[in-house]
Amino acid sequence: MSGLLDAVFGLEGLGFSDPDAVLTFARPIPAWAWAIILVAMGVLVALSYVRQLAGRRARVLLAGARVALVALLMLAATGPRLTRHHERVEEDWVVVMLDRSRSMLIPDAPGEQGRVSRDEQLRRALESSRDLFERLSREKRVLWLGFDSGSFEMGGPGQDETWLGQPQGRRTVIGASLESALQRVSARPVSGVVLFSDGRSSDQLERTLLRALESQRVPVFGVPLGSTEPIADAAVRSVRAPDAVFADDLVTASVELERTGAPSDPVEIELVDLDTGAVLDSGRAEFDESGRGTSSLRVRLDQPGRHRLSVRLVSGSEDLIADNNAQEIGVEVVERPLRALYIDGYPRWEQRYVKNLLMRERSIQSSSLLLSANRRYLQEGNVDVVALPRSVEEWAGYDVVIIGDLRPELLGEETLAQLREHVAERGAGLVFIAGPGALPQAWRSSPLADLIPVVLDSEAVMPSFDEPVTMTSTPAAEALGLLQLAGHAGGEPGWPVLLSDPNTGWSLLRWAQKIDRSRVKPGVVTLATLSPGSAGMTPADSETWPGVLMMRYGAGASVYVATDETWRWRYGRGEDLPERFWVPMIRQLARASVARSQRSALLSVTPEEGLVGQPVRVLVELLDQSLIDARPGVVRAAVVAPDQARTDLQLEPQPDGRGRFFAAQWVPERPGRFEVRLSDPLIGSVEGSRSVRVGLPDDEWRRPETDHALLADLSERTGGEMLAPADLERLEELLPNRELTVSGEPEVQPLWDRPAVLVVLIVLLTLEWVGRRLIRLA
């Protein structure tokens, strides 16, 4: 029937046979109005034919034709049409956001057999909830997004097993990632955001973001990853140790530790020989309120050659990250005697005792000169000196030079300039032993004035104490392993209490210079202090003044001792105390010289702890004169990443380096510990590389604790809930139904203007006209 009507009306496409087609009217008339119209029309037509002389049947047929004609006209006037309505159901969206920053690798999440990484906890939660998300994907549109500093699309669990990938994001920015996610689903119905994260974010949740979530009625369901309670993590931050030492030297490794997370107990640290596995020394370190701690480990190395050592942390409690609990160092042990030159102006007691202890020390080859005003040389020591060195090359024969109380004119300005260059460029050590005569004020205008750790700003004589003083070492000396005068007979190292007690009598230094702290140059380290006092007083009763000062100068260093009375300590402990005071300090000053003397080139990097995207300067100093004379155009080096990826560098000669210095900049692109090595065939193999630890500006591993409170606050303010990974099944009932039915523009097919309607009208008119003619009506 529907097909017949389509054929009658000539309809194609939308027609009566379309199940979605509905008959409607452009100008609909209510049913009651139709009834009135039809009744009125019937009455009028009946009145017009009731008095005609024709037969009853003819009159009824004619009246019916007229009623049908008028009814058809009225029906056409209402605009009959076929209408097909277009409606579609728009599914609501669920946005699943997965944290893919590097903090997900922190192993603090609870597991069945111990702690696992947050990333592993996330993977297990997604695997156990696979059926849940499959059901949601049949009912809703599920959008999978990863995020770190921003959001990005991910394939979802339906992809291969590697769809998650490894978390590589440098930092987490939850606020910006949420804003980016909302932009992806803008103008779409969103039933909720499921946020898998540890909550740690480098930004704050902006009010505009929270208002947008609230106005769009988008609830956030936070799924916290990681440990709710912070777990302590102790790490070896840095280790400082000499590159080269003499055989039987006491090597001090200064260790800096860092603690993050919860407060932790003191930790044990060990110095381990990596070649033998033996524990060489151990100690205990505590952390301050800021989470920093320091300690020192010491060992005597007597076997020549390269020693690979490691400082490792042994934590008695649970430690979060094991990879940062150790750091390797290398120390070269040189088996040759230390070469020292002692120059003084007159045979004072201090000169005699220092000269004698240098001669007694088998590991030191010393020469001693007394230089009088008439330039007469009185020499002592186990190596004869024909004359003072007259060039930098001749000064290279000495690792340490000791200068006593004499005027600089006795040495000559040119000689002093050569000595300064020897210290600055070859790493030699320089010791000044003050005296009541010329040192330091007479040296104010000499080439060595820059090496004196005290500002010499006037011609006035340096004041001295008018009473005896005692000496006390400082923590800086302990960190360097210097002035450890106690510890004989197997005791604990340190500064003897008796040396700081004026009541002993023999500990009193009868003469010492009174150096005001304001005159100490910046960067100078105070190794010992002086306290004026007499019998019956304690060091705490008096003010302290700098007594032994150390400063770096170029490649070397200098030490200034403000007294020449340490020889008096022999009255208390014989030669032991003066020897423990002087010999380790002299050996310490010689280490830079011996380190440079064993190499043809010296490699250094600045800074040793870099940041991604910030330049690291790689510097090579040529030490071998034959290399300097070769005038290389560039020096080649390589940066080796933890995965052994290699970056080649070409170091260019420096304008002010006189052919000795070559430098280049390297910009790290990722975090990790890198090794910088020389790879130039001209230089050959140079022992030792330089390690550079590269971190991120906002390194999340520096603050590994979670921030579940942020997730809880975000969920509460948006009308969502916090869901533990084990409670994800509740998500299906918590997500609101935001499905939308959208009506489109209806499709209309008019019927009143079809040819069939016109044909029917003509037929009805013709029938009535023919009928009226037959019965002879007008």
- Residue 383 burial class via C-beta count within 10 angstroms: exposed 0-12, middle 13-18, buried 19 and up: middle
Question: Is the domain of 133 the same as that of 169?
Answer: yes
Helix H or strand E encompassing 184: helix 174-184
pLDDT digit string (tens) for 243-261? 888 888 888 898 998 887 7
Q: At 260, phi and psi to the nearest 5?
A: -125, 165
Rounded to whole angstroms, how far apart are CA atoms 146 and 124? 17
Contact, 483 vs 559, CB < 8 A? no
CA atoms of 435 and 563, how far apart (whole Å)? 7
**72 located within any domain:** yes
- Percentage of the chain exceeding pLDDT 70: 91
**Same domain (yes/no): 442, 478:** yes
Overall number of domains in the chain = 5
* Domain-located, residue 751: yes
Whether residues 566 and 634 share a domain: the answer is: no
Q: 160 — phi, psi (to 5°)?
A: -70, 175
Q: Taking the CB of residue 234, how many other CB atoms lie within 10 A of it? A: 28
Q: How far apart are CA 13 and CA 47, in angstroms?
A: 45
Burial of 41 (0-12, 13-18, 19+ CB in 10 A): middle
pLDDT at residue 145, as a whole number: 93
Range of the domain at 173: 90-216+710-735
Q: In what order do the strands lie in the sheet with 305-314?
A: 244-246, 326-334, 305-314, 267-273, 279-285
On whether both 80 and 108 belong to a single domain, the answer is no
User: Looking at the structure, do residues 585 and 624 belong to the same domain, yes or no?
Assistant: no
Is residue 223 in a domain? no
Domain boundary among 685, 705, 725: 705
pTM: 0.69
Give the CATH number of the domain where residue 327 resides: 2.60.40.10
SS3 413: helix
Q: Locate 126 and state its tokens.
A: 């997604």
**Measured between alpha carbons, how far is 143 from 219 in angstroms, rounded to an integer?**
15
The CATH code of the domain that includes 632 is 2.60.40.1930
Give me the helices (H) in 185-283, please: 207-215
Cβ distance 332 to 687 under 8 Å?
A: yes
Distance CA 257, CA 292 (A): 6
Co-location of 700 and 714 in the same domain: no
- The DSSP H or E segment spanning 400 is strand 400-403
pLDDT of 64 reads 77
Helices (H), ranges, 497-618: 570-573, 576-597
CA of residue 379 relative to chain centroid, distance: 58
Helices (H), 364-474: 392-395, 413-426
CB 217 within 8 A of CB 189: no
Give the domain CATH number at 129: 3.40.50.410
Do 497 and 642 reside in the same domain of the chain? no
Residues 725 and 125 sit within 8 Å (Cβ to Cβ): yes
How far apart are the C-alpha atoms of 262 and 315, rounded to whole Å? Answer: 14
The answer to whether residues 364 and 512 belong to one domain is: yes
- Residues 397 and 525 grouped into a single domain: yes
CA–CA distance, 196 with 685 (Å, rounded to integer):
51
- The verdict on whether omega for the bond into residue 607 sits within 30 degrees of 0, i.e. cis, is yes
Instruction: Answer yes or no: is 741 within a domain.
Output: no
Of 276, 333, 275, which Cα lies nearest the Cα of 304? 333
**255 in a structural domain:** yes
337 in Cβ contact with 398 (< 8 Å): no
692 phi and psi angles, rounded to 5 deg: -125, 120
Same domain, 274 and 290: yes
CA angle, 342 as apex, 341 and 343 as ends, to 5°? 120
Q: Please give the biggest Cα pair distance in the chain.
A: 173
Summarize pLDDT for 384-442 with one digit per residue, the tens.
Answer: 777 788 888 889 889 999 999 999 998 999 999 999 999 998 899 999 999 998 889 89
CA distance 698 to 101: 12
Query: Is residue 20 included in any domain, yes or no?
Result: yes
Which DSSP state fits 745?
Answer: P
Token output for 228: 């709710």
310 and 384 co-located in one domain: no
Residue 568: give its domain's CATH number: 3.40.50.880
Phi, psi angles (nearest 5°) of residue 25: -125, 140
- Closest listed residue to residue 747, CA positions, set 78, 9, 87, 17: 87
Residue at 483 is within a domain: yes
Measured between alpha carbons, how far is 674 from 663 in angstroms, rounded to an integer?
A: 18
Does residue 224 fall inside a structural domain?
no
pLDDT of residue 489: 40
CA distance 575 to 585: 16
Among residues 171, 261, 256, 237, the alpha carbon closest in space to that of 609 is found at 237
3-state secondary structure of 675: strand
Other residues' Cβ atoms within 10 Å of the Cβ of residue 102: 20
Nearest to 361 by CA among 578, 567, 564, 560: 578
From residue 280, give the alpha-carbon distance in Å to each of 245, 267, 274: 16, 17, 10
User: Do 614 and 689 reside in the same domain of the chain?
Assistant: yes
Whole-number pLDDT of residue 585: 94
Amino acid at 23: L
State the average pLDDT for the chain.
85
Boundary-marking domain end, from 575, 594, 613: 594
Structural domain ending residue among the three candidates 304, 334, 364: 334
Residue 490's pLDDT is 43
The conformational region for residue 554 under phi > 0 = left, psi -120 to 50 = alpha, else beta, is left
Which residue's entry shows tokens 């190292």?
Answer: 493
Residues of the chain with pLDDT under 70: 1, 6, 8-9, 51-53, 86-89, 158-161, 264, 316-318, 372-382, 459-460, 487-492, 534-542, 657, 684-688, 740-744, 776-778
Comparing CA positions, the residue from 100, 213, 91 lying closest to residue 143 is 91
